[in-house]
């Protein structure tokens, strides 16, 4: 059952989402060759607790870490390790918080130094597909309108869409209804309702869409060892339209990137 949120609740969720955004911005300043994902994980936990919140993943379903850090052919759910990041790696950093009783859940795939052009393009297209999907999250549409738009956008580049892992409703629980697959048929699935909040999160592979899980019981990798990208925003349906609760602006500030990709989704701030 979809649980719509009031405007007040959406404001609380925005604070939780923005804390994840700030955490990812902090991580962006730390990412360089030689750093381990375990070190990043410790910094993220400290940062979140310093801001009066608690990590959203740690302890959830037995997850041992604050961040999930998926490197190169790892798709999602990568557990932090003591392997130093290397020039040319990509690392998807997924982070959750609980603040005000609500979850934030938000991810970005970072480049470590110079990344090969084919992988760079995979990241670019995957991030663009996130916004292509978000645009379809509006009143009158249904769940698979989002997924099919993401799928079309990525498959026309020859990429593949992971089937086994999907986006989701978000709220007082990390995973609420509905599931938000990154594939589907236009016009199919549950109808969107005013006030609902979802995490939209394309997981897109350069090669095969098939996956396997590592022996750690968590990390999901591509079956062919080719790279995978993952970007995730939290989005509320307000006045019939998508409103971004999370932002990549903290990451872009840290990395010196200029982008107006989020502007068209940023309606005027809600008046309570």
Which residues are part of a known binding site for a divalent metal cation? 94, 105, 168, 201, 232
DSSP label at 264? G
11, containing H or E segment? helix 7-30
Residues of the shown chain interacting with Mg ion in the complex, contacts defined by CB under 5 A: 94, 105, 107, 199, 232
E strands present in 59-217 = 67-71, 74-76, 90-99, 102-111, 160-161, 167-169, 176-180, 197-200, 203-205, 211-213
- To Mg ion, the closest distance from the beta carbon of 105 in angstroms equals 4
- To Mg ion, the closest distance from the beta carbon of 40 in angstroms equals 15
Query: Among 260, 254, 253, 153, which Cα is nearest to 200's?
Result: 153
DSSP label at 61? G
Distances from the Cα of 3 to the Cα of 167, 175, 176, 177, 178, angstroms: 16, 11, 8, 7, 9
- To Mg ion, the closest distance from the beta carbon of 103 in angstroms equals 9
Nearer to Mg ion, 132 or 199 (CB): 199
* Number of H-type helices and E-type strands within the chain: 5, 15
* Alpha-carbon gap, residue 240 to 237, rounded angstroms: 6
Nearer to Mg ion, 203 or 206 (CB): 203
- Evaluate the omega torsion of the peptide bond into residue 259 and state whether it is cis, within 30 degrees of 0: no
- To Mg ion, the closest distance from the beta carbon of 43 in angstroms equals 18
- To Mg ion, the closest distance from the beta carbon of 202 in angstroms equals 11
Longest Cα–Cα distance of the chain, Å, equals 50
Q: Quote helix, strand, coil % in the chain, to nearest 5.
A: 30, 25, 45
Nearer to Mg ion, 96 or 189 (CB): 96
Give the position of tokens 């048929």: 185
Nearer to Mg ion, 157 or 262 (CB): 262
- To Mg ion, the closest distance from the beta carbon of 94 in angstroms equals 4
Instruction: Pick out the residues of the known binding site for substrate.
Output: 77, 175
């Amino acid at each position: 059952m979809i649980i719509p949120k009031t405007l007040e609740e959406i404001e609380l969720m925005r604070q939780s989402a923005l804390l994840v955004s700030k955490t990812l911005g902090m991580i962006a300043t730390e990412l360089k060759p030689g750093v381990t994902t375990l070190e990043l994980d410790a910094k993220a936990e400290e940062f979140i607790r310093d801001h009066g919140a608690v990590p959203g993943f740690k302890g959830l379903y037995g997850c041992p870490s604050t961040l999930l850090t998926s490197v190169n052919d790892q798709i999602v759910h990568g557990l932090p390790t003591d392997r130093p990041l290397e020039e040319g790696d990509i690392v998807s950093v997924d982070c959750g918080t609980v603040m005000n009783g609500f979850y934030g859940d938000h991810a970005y795939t970072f480049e470590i130094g110079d990344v090969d052009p084919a992988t760079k393009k995979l990241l670019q297209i995957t991030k663009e597909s996130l916004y292509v999907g978000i645009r379809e999250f509006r009143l009158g549409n249904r769940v698979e309108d989002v997924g099919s738009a993401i799928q079309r956008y990525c498959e026309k580049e020859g990429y593949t869409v992971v089937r086994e892992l999907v986006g989701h409703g978000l709220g007082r629980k990390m995973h609420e209804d509905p599931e938000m697959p990154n594939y589907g048929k236009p016009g199919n699935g549950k109808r969107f309702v005013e006030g609902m909040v979802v995490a939209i999160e394309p997981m897109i592979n350069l090669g095969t869409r098939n996956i396997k899980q590592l022996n750690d019981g968590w990390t999901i990798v591509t079956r062919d060892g080719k790279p995978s990208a993952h970007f995730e925003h939290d989005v509320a349906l307000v006045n019939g339209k998508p409103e971004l609760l999370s932002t990549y602006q903290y990451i872009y500030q840290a990395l010196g990137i200029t982008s107006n990709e989020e502007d068209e989704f940023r309606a005027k701030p809600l008046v309570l």
